[in-house]
Chain A
Amino acid sequence: MSLFPDQPAENGEPVFKEPWEAQAFSLVIALHESGVFSWDEWSDALAQAIRRDLHPGGGEEVVQRVSEAVAEDAGEDVGEEAGKKTSERMAEKEDRPDSYYQHWLAALEHLAIAKGLSGAGELAQRVQAWREAYLATPHGQPVELACGQRSV
Chain B
Amino acid sequence: MSHDHDHTDPPSDLELRVKALESLLLEKGLVKQDALNAIIETYEHQVGPKNGAHVVAKAWSDLSFKQALLADATATVADLGYVGRQGEHLTVVENTSDIHNLVVCTLCSCYPWTLLGLPPVWYKSAPYRARAVSEPRAVLSEFGTVLPEHTDIRVWDSTSEMRYLVLPERPAGTGGWRESQLQALVTRNSMIGVELLRHREEVK
Which of B25, B27, B161 makes the CB contact (< 8 A) with A27?
B25
Closest-by-CB residue of A relative to B4 is A139
List A residues 118-152 near B (Cβ within 8 Å): 118, 122-123, 126-127, 129-131, 134-143, 145, 150-151
The stretch among B14-22, B143-151, B187-195 that forms the contact with chain A is: B14-22
* Closest partner residue, chain B, to A29 (CB atom): B39
Number of interface residues of A (CB under 8 A): 50
A109 to B41 CA separation, bound complex (whole angstroms): 23
Partner-B contacts on A (CB < 8 A): 10, 13-20, 22-27, 29-31, 33-34, 36, 67, 89, 102, 105, 108-109, 112, 117-118, 122-123, 126-127, 129-131, 134-143, 145, 150-151
Cα A86 to Cα B148 in complex, Å, equals 57
Which of these, B7, B13, B43, contacts A138 with CB under 8 Å? B7
**A134 B11 Cβ-Cβ under 8 A:** yes
CB within 8 Å: A-B pair count: 143
Contact of A145 among B23, B36, B44, B107 (CB under 8 A): B23
Q: Shortest distance in angstroms between A147's beta carbon and chain B's nearest beta carbon?
A: 12
B10 touches A141 (CB 8 A): no
Taken together as a complex, chains A and B put the C-alpha atoms of A25 and B14 apart, in Å, by: 13
Q: Tell me the complex Cα distance, A23–B23, Å.
A: 11
Contact A19 B35 (CB under 8 A): no
The answer to the question of B30 belonging to the interface, with a C-beta cut-off of 8 Å to chain A, is: yes
Q: Is B47 in the interface zone, CB < 8 Å from A?
A: yes
B30 CB to closest chain A CB, in angstroms?
Answer: 6
Task: Choose among B24, B36, B159 the residue with the greatest number of A CB atoms under 10 Å from its CB.
Answer: B24
Question: A13-B46, A31-B25, A126-B23 given as contacts; is B85 within 8 A of A18 (CB)?
Answer: yes
Interchain Cβ contacts under 8 Å between A and B, 23 examples: A15-B47, A16-B46, A16-B117, A22-B47, A23-B40, A26-B35, A27-B36, A30-B39, A89-B13, A112-B21, A117-B25, A118-B21, A126-B24, A127-B19, A127-B20, A134-B9, A135-B7, A138-B7, A139-B6, A139-B8, A139-B161, A143-B8, A145-B23
Not counting A16-B46, A18-B15, A89-B13, a sample of 7 additional A-B residue pairs whose C-beta atoms are within 8 angstroms of each other reads A13-B46, A22-B40, A23-B40, A30-B31, A109-B21, A129-B20, A141-B107
Tell me the smallest distance from the CB of A77 to a CB of chain B, in Å: 13
Answer yes or no: B28 CB below 8 A from chain A CBs.
yes
* Contact yes or no, A20 B14, CB < 8 A: yes
Closest Cβ–Cβ distance, residue A67 to chain B (whole Å): 8
Bound state CA distance, A136 and B107, in angstroms? 16
